[in-house]
Amino acid sequence: MGDRESRVTQARAFVLKAEATDADDPETDNAALRYSLLGPEGAGMFAIDELSGEIRVAQDGLDREVTGSYNLTLQVADMAGEGLSTTAVATIHVEDVNDNPPEFVSDEFRLEAPENRQGLEVGRLTVQDRDQPGSPNWLSKFTILEGDPGAAFSIHPDPLTNEGVISLAKALDYEEQSRYELLVSVQNQSPLHPSAPKATHALARVQLQVTDANEAPFFLDSPCRGRANEGAAAGTEIALLRARDPDTQQAQRLSRPATRRVKRAWVIPPISLPENHRRLPYLLVQIKSDKQQPGVVVYSIKGPGVDEDPKDIFSIDNRSGKVYLNTVLDREKHDRFRLKAFALDLGGVPLEDPTDLEILVLDQNDNRPLFQRDVFTGQVVEGAEPGAFVLKAEATDADDPETDNAALRYSLLGPEGAGMFAIDELSGEIRVAQDGLDREASEAASWLQVDPESGRVEAHQKVPPRSTFLGGWYVTQVLAVDNGSPPLTATGTLSVEVLEVNDHAPSLFPTTGSLCREGGGLVLSATDQDLAPHAGPFHFDLGLSSAHNWTLSHPNDTHVLLRPPPGVAEGLHVLPLLVRDSGVPPRAREQLLNVSVCACSQWGTCGAEAAATLGARAGLSWGALLAILCSALLLLLLVLLVAGLGHSHRQALQKGLLGSWQDDLRDNIVNYDEQGGGEEDQDAYDLSQLRDPDLFGPPAPRGKPLRRRDAPHGYALPLPLPRCPSDIEDFINEGLEAADSDPSVPPYDTALIYDYEGACSASGSLSSLQSSLGDEDQDYDYLQEWGPRFQRLAELYGQ
């Protein structure tokens, strides 16, 4: 049995188990071991089981702060405790519990703090805790309860000493408040054990005195303005400067000698150089010392770009002080270089203090915009209002963000989605731009717009019903352009999914049908313009007036079977039927179903199938009936109007051409050109050819129509009008002479050929042009040749 070590925290708790072995026969008393405790240490506080060797806490009273550990002497003997024995030592450590709250060593502390200092430690508050140092039971937590309304102080524990460290969170002002009285509380970071005293925290007061600091005076008038007359003598008072010392709160009268600025050449202003400059080596600047001696001055530069990474970008002529650029610069890698310039004599003695040489690399538009993703995807519900956010297309530009080279503007490319969405040109956010977003849109529409500044894409208008884009996706391209010269661009793809909305109610199909009176049924279905999951399965319900007679059975999710009640009467039945889809929220529509019930033949056919069709009118609404009635009235008015116009036209035609036989003496109406030139043709048509067409040869053959070839294609220029009335006679004579001598000027002395419109009918012509005015010249025998279709007309003429 060796030495053992264990930890214990509470009474009657198991501590450890002592184990020993004996090489004798285990079946005899020579191996029967018994355990016991020896010595006064731990007597009464611990007990050991003589058979098993288990050591337990025997009674209450363990206190780590009184006794932190126990060394128990253990004995084991064979022969049931009467034989050979051996001993061992068991070390028991009492574990700490948080049964002691921290306490301040004093009820009051006095500290001092200077004004105008921040973050300074001003003092420590000492506490004591009997628990194990360094453990969570020992560490304290401090809180300022009173006296610091402006949160000018902070307090935190020191993990090594457990002291409360008070620091200045803000700068104090002695003139504003010179004394603070703080009430500070302390408690353990871990909760107290139930056996601890009831007081869980301790309190202490801190008297803190603010010490005054010497603050600089300040001018009361800033800026201070003065006046002086030209030619004023030296010493003339120009202005009175007033200042105040915040420490004494008393006005002071100050005087200060005048100073003068002296410009020095050794101070080098920053140098700006555009990146990608390729004319190398390029002279940047020439530095020169103000203290240049008659001897030789040696110039040098050091720093990043010279002897530090990146090396060998700049170089200097040691004698002239000229600084050169040796390589092409890239602003995206290094936007500035800070060098040190030195001026030495030949002996290495500095002539000047080292001065700064700063080289700024100016940005050039050499980086294209870059979209963060190749494809930007977004979702928007159909019917979204204009301005609805869709997505944001963001691009980056590696150029200087303070210049126009990195200022990006966004726009949409292509017609797809244009107008319905909008993108903010600055941020790249895409939003719905207008009403009309509909997944069922039948035509592609311009419904995207982009904010050119932020890149926000928004909806611009509602999408037309039933979009033709595949799967309800709108795809377009977004363009990012910077404001550099020349501008650089980048393109990205926008893919906007229009989410389905249940905006269409299902429609019953069919709305009419017929079924047999005995054992018949009518299969009904429904259609919905929406897509899944806002379409089927459909739910059918009969109206209250028909639900107790007619029955509906559902063979599947898309159809129902309508059956009539037993003994239903033959004829037309109008049933109200409610159809509801499975959308969220569902939409329903009530329609009238016209069913014709008939007695079927042995083959199952209905003899009264037309009844349902005729009865479909019973299912029409009042609006539909009114529309049909209005359409019929409009059609009737149109027919009457056409008939009236036709009748008026025929009367005018008969009066103009065949009004009376005496009007035929003039043959035709002669049109005159009242603006000059006179009539061109006064020859009338030969009406005898129209009355007796059979006398003038056979009709022209079918095919290409005849053309006039008796006159040239060109026309003579018209004669100018006379300038005075006295020349009228000469003008007419010249016109007659020109008409007689020029074959292209009408009238023509040749036969005119007209297109023939076809042969006459077998019954002859009924035109009045071929009829005579007197009955004595007519022969009515030809009426018998008209045929049976004109028998009645022939009888009328024969009378």
Average pLDDT over all residues of the chain: 75
Mean pLDDT of 198-227: 78
Structure confidence at residue 183 (pLDDT): 94
pLDDT higher than 70, residue 395: yes
Copy the structure tokens of residue 260: 């003068």
The pLDDT tens digits of the residues spanning 685-722 come to 555 555 555 555 555 555 444 444 444 445 455 556 55
Q: Which residue has the higher pLDDT, 677 or 1?
A: 1
Containing 627, the helix (H) or strand (E) segment is helix 622-658
> Taking 70 as the threshold, does the pLDDT of residue 667 lie above it?
no
Domains of the chain: 13-93 (2.60.40.60), 103-211 (2.60.40.60), 271-362 (2.60.40.60), 369-499 (2.60.40.60), 507-598 (2.60.40.60)
Q: Which residues contact 285 (CB under 8 A, 6 or more apart)?
A: 268, 271, 322, 323, 357
Residue 261 has pLDDT above 50, yes or no: no
* Adjacent-strand bridge partners of 561: 523, 553
Residue 668: the pLDDT is 52
DSSP 464: P
| pLDDT reading at 127 higher than 90 | yes
Alpha helices in 82-195 (DSSP H): none
Antiparallel, parallel or unpaired: β 418-425 and 454-459: antiparallel
Q: pLDDT (tens digit, 9 = 90+) per residue, 432-485?
A: 777 666 554 434 346 778 888 888 888 777 765 555 566 778 788 888 888 887
Per-residue pLDDT band for 163 (boundaries 50, 70, 90) equals very high
pLDDT band for position 666 (50/70/90)?
very low
Q: Which residues have a Cβ under 8 Å from the Cβ of 597 and sit 6 or more positions away?
A: 514, 515, 516, 517, 520, 564, 568, 569, 570, 571, 573
Bridge pairing between strands 522-527 and 429-433:
unpaired
**In percent, how much of the chain has pLDDT > 70?**
68
Q: Is the pLDDT of residue 415 over 60?
A: no
Mean pLDDT value across residues 571-584: 84
If pLDDT is split at 50, 70 and 90, which confidence band does 250 have? very low
Confidence class of residue 141 from pLDDT cuts 50, 70 and 90? very high
Alpha-carbon separation of residue 749 from 693, 740, 752 (angstroms): 22, 10, 9
pLDDT of residue 569: 82
Query: Which comes out higher in pLDDT, residue 5 or 597?
Result: 597
pTM (2 d.p.):
0.37
- pLDDT of residue 633 exceeding 80, the answer is yes
Of residues 199 and 418, the one with the higher pLDDT is 199
Place of tokens 């001026």: 343
Q: Is the pLDDT of residue 258 over 70?
A: no
Q: What is the pLDDT of residue 205?
A: 94
- How far is Cα 501 from Cα 583, in angstroms, rounded to an integer? 8
Which tens digit of pLDDT belongs to each residue from 723-782?
555 577 788 888 777 777 766 655 555 555 555 555 555 555 555 545 444 555 566 666
Contacts of 153 (CB under 8 A, 6+ apart): 122, 144, 166, 167, 168, 169, 180, 182, 208
| pLDDT per residue as tens digits for the range 305-315 | 888 888 888 89
Q: With bands split at pLDDT 50, 70 and 90, how would you rate the model's confidence at 794? A: confident
What is the per-residue pLDDT for 363?
78
Q: Which pLDDT does position 659 carry in this prediction?
A: 47
Mean pLDDT of 162-187: 91
Out of 32-46, 91-105, 478-492, 733-747, pick the least confident: 733-747
Residue 277 and residue 328 in contact, taking contact as beta carbons nearer than 8 Å: yes
**The pLDDT of residue 591:** 86
H/E segment holding residue 654: helix 622-658
Looking at per-residue pLDDT, the higher value among 367 and 470 belongs to 367
pLDDT of 525 strictly over 80: yes
Neighbouring-strand partners of residue 146: 183
Residue 143 has a pLDDT of 93
Cα of 549 vs its chain's centroid, Å: 55
Can you tell me the distance from the alpha carbon of 598 to that of 721, in angstroms, rounded to the nearest whole number? Answer: 90
Provide the sign of the torsion angle of the four alpha carbons 346, 349, 351, 357, taken in this order.
Answer: positive
State which amino acid sits at residue 534.
H
CB 610 within 8 A of CB 571: no
- Position 629 pLDDT exceeds 50: yes
How does DSSP assign 734-763, residue by residue?
Answer: HHHHHHHH-TTSSSPSS--------PPPTT
- Compute the average pLDDT of residues 585-593: 86
Q: What is the pLDDT of residues 56-78, one digit of tens each?
A: 888 777 777 777 788 888 888 88
Q: Which two tokens stand for residue 538?
A: 């459909």
